[in-house]
Chain A
């Protein structure tokens, strides 16, 4: 086994733009679930709407890249309104059902050949992102810091992605320390009590759904920029559950939780993969084909998610008193 390569891959993924994309989605989910108590099981759909909104805006509508990003975020707001208006008056469980269904519906809409001209069907959309690198203020060259070694474009992508993570975290921090955030936390605890104190609960839940969705939409945009393409199969239900794991690992109602959760999660994700693949390759795991390692990881993730919820529901950074799963 190549320990140096394992180490470099494990550390490298911590500052990978895809990690930042998941972190952004988890920040959004912390607004939904951690602070408002909304059970959103369709965070993949919000990311997908952001990703496709930008790709379609840029490639089909021929908008400039920045305008396409704005268009993507507008699409996310519309999507949140469509999901939220009929369901947020109902009990929390209904939102869970509707979001998980809506994320699958959206994915199938994107992959069906009926809209191939716009969405690219199951192949998705590619061939863009070049404008993004035209914005790169970092001079050409190779940038190496310890185990990290990036080209100027890779460096720029990381600065952009983690810059968004920083801005999102700051915004959530500002929101949650304001009286506005206090109303959200009250709704998480007991909607009727907050209603009896004269707050328009429905409006706050809708605002929370939109804002959390916008962070996921930004995550989708980062995803597209770093892959230079967008494909429907990226946004499968697995995506949502990885975001949940990231969030719960870090702490659902904490500021640094999504960031730490995302970094630890993906470091482990890569590390376990490398270790298992290495062990399978040298025959230590006779029951495991090297090609099955990827599946085993998902089993481990499921197990980790269960253990987390049972034994450490507040995550790494959360306050146990502030977040329990059964009131």
Chain B
């Protein structure tokens, strides 16, 4: 199975058969702390890739850098062969690389369906003048139909008219993911999609993520839940202290000594006070 993902030897930063995202020499420093220092990284197209690592490994910072929400000190990256470094975050999303946030960003004082509609791209009614003269009615109906079918898939259809602020934490995670899907992304980047979601919902969320892959969407997600990582990912990338320390198939990489070190902590016998903290 690794053969249809990797070219050559499996090692941190290895080449992929069909990468959708390629990053080179991406570094980000916060003061004296190097939060991210990724020499080379490729994300395989059409697969579910998990990005794991201990707290402070730089996973979320890397997400922020790649999606234009933060600026790196050095580095370049290409999405579908086109440079994406220095591109503002909204243009990154328009190119088809859409992310969610670790701390859910539901738009609380808007209804669930309005949250969903906002996710759709290329809306003519989002131009002030076209918006004023009602040129968006037909498109709005199509967007609403797409939103309703996603809401049904995510079992949020009963909440359609409720304010997003009235949803539970887990439902907001689902809403945020469904909203991101409204933009029909090529690559969806989920930052801890399982955090705070109850076990009953977890199962359906996993199915949704697998469903995305079936539809041809590439998924990259950050997660601490090893069970989920093992269960759905095709490929696992391990980060520690800002660097990619291991890559591989989930079954293999979980047994890797570097990964065990990273999760237990390479400094597990040193005082916690001396350890770095980031994110």
Contacts and interface: CB of A to CB of B under 8 A. Distances in A.
A175 B118 contact: no
Most buried by B among A178, A195, A200, A201: A178
A190 B89 CA distance: 14
Contacts of A279: none
A52 B85 CA distance: 46
Contacts of A13: none
Contacts of B117: 179, 182
Contact of B108 (A175, A180, A189, A194): A189
Chain B contact patch, size range: 35 or more
A174 B134 CA distance: 8
A189 B176 CA distance: 14
A126 to B, nearest CB: 37
A181 interface: yes
Contacts of B94: 198
Nearest to A199: B90
Contact residues of A: prevailing secondary structure: helix
B109 A196 contact: no
A167 B80 CA distance: 48
A194 B91 CA distance: 12
A197 B132 contact: no
Given A179-B136, A183-B118, A192 B107 contact: no
A323 interface: yes
Interface in A307-326: 321-324
A211 to B, nearest CB: 8
Interface stretch (B123-131, B203-211, B216-224): B123-131
Most buried by A among B106, B125, B127: B125
Contacts of B118: 182-183, 186, 194, 197, 199
Contacts of B166: 321
A194 B90 CA distance: 8
B93 interface: yes
Interface residues of A, number: 31
B101 to A, nearest CB: 7
A195 B183 CA distance: 12
A327 interface: yes
A69 B183 CA distance: 42
A31 to B, nearest CB: 12
B140 interface: yes
A193 interface: yes
Interface of A: 171, 174-175, 178-183, 185-186, 188-190, 192-201, 207, 211, 321-324, 327
Interface of B: 67, 69, 88-91, 93-94, 98-101, 105-110, 114, 117-119, 121, 123, 125-128, 130-132, 134, 136, 140, 163, 165-166, 176, 179-180, 182-183
Across chains A and B, which 10 residue pairs bring their CB atoms closest together, nearest first?
A178-B131, A179-B125, A198-B93, A180-B131, A193-B105, A189-B107, A198-B94, A190-B105, A195-B89, A179-B126
Given A171-B132, A185-B107, A321-B166, 8 more contacts: A180-B125, A185-B110, A189-B110, A196-B67, A197-B90, A321-B109, A322-B163, A323-B109
